[in-house]
Amino acid sequence: QPCWNEYLTTRIEQNMVVNCTCPISECHAQPTAAFICSIVSSEEIIAKYEKALLRGYVECCSNLTWCTNPQGCDQILLKDGLGYGAACSKCSWISCFNCSFPEAHYPASCSHMSHMTCAKCNHGFCWRCLKPWRPTHKDYYNCSAMVSKAAWHEKRFQDYNERCTFHHHAREFAMNLRNRVSSISGLPKIRTLTFVLDACKVLEQARKVLAYSCVYSYYNQDTENMDIVEQQTESLELHTNAL
């Protein structure tokens, strides 16, 4: 039993317990959960084992996923029935279920979030697999572009990137403001501040849309359609700044 306890404890701590087998090389039997719980006495190790089982189960189910909140959230989400705009019931974070980007990024598409372009030579590649955008991807940008064109693309990228970064910082400001208002709203003799909290939430959402609108506008090549998008974006940014 001491040997089994040490073996299983090591496998659990190394996150290799889900598919572990008998240590005898000729034996491929897998220890059951009941057997592991009867051998391992440490409650902390058992808790890690139960988390490993849950993590393995979620990873095996294509319809389940973890909340992608970068601040940390252990909520399990069911993909079916969660359309765009549906938030985590625990932390209110809105995830994207179609790509590896940590949050919903409307109006930018998933391909926008993974398509990167070299500012020097204009070579397009996928951020996730690092392969050329063509032939495995779409909308490849010719890498043999002239220096002047490359410089123009670099300036254009910098402009959109600065706007996007600004809106992300402004969104963080709105989040911090909402947290500060929430902390004082519970104090005695403070009248209801619900309307301020609602305004902060609207401000957060507006800044998020504006940030990803920069990504969408940068990659969109439809000039006629972009005129309308830019007008709408400008109007949203005007009202957001006023708020």
Residues 19, 83 within the same domain: no
pLDDT score, position 222: 65
Question: If you ran DSSP here, which 8-state letter would residue 134 be given?
Answer: T
Asked whether residue 16 falls in the same domain as residue 69, the answer is no
109 within some domain: no
218 is a domain residue? yes
Do residue 31 and residue 85 come from a single domain? no
**Boundary (domain end) residue, out of 60, 82, 106:** 60
Structurally, the chain folds into a number of domains equal to 3
Q: Are residues 56 and 77 in the same domain?
A: no
* Residues with Cβ within 8 Å of residue 77, at least 6 apart in sequence: 64, 65, 66, 67, 88, 95
Whose CA is closest to 240, among 167, 161, 159? Answer: 167
Phi and psi torsions of 240, nearest 5°: -65, -45
Structure tokens at 113: 């979030």
Query: Given this model, what pLDDT does residue 205 score?
Result: 92
> How far is residue 66's CA from residue 99's CA, in Å, rounded to a whole number?
13
In a shared domain, residues 33 and 83: no
pLDDT of residue 188: 65
Residue 207 confidence (pLDDT): 93
Low-confidence ranges of the chain (pLDDT < 50): 83, 85, 138-147
Q: Rounded CA gap, 17 and 20, in Å?
A: 5
pLDDT in the model for residue 204: 93
What local confidence, expressed as pLDDT, does residue 130 receive? 59
Residue 6's domain spans which residues? Answer: 1-60
* pLDDT tens by residue, 151-203: 667 777 888 888 898 999 999 999 999 888 888 876 766 667 888 889 999 99
Q: What letter represents residue 38's amino acid?
A: S
Which position has the token pair 């043999």?
A: 144
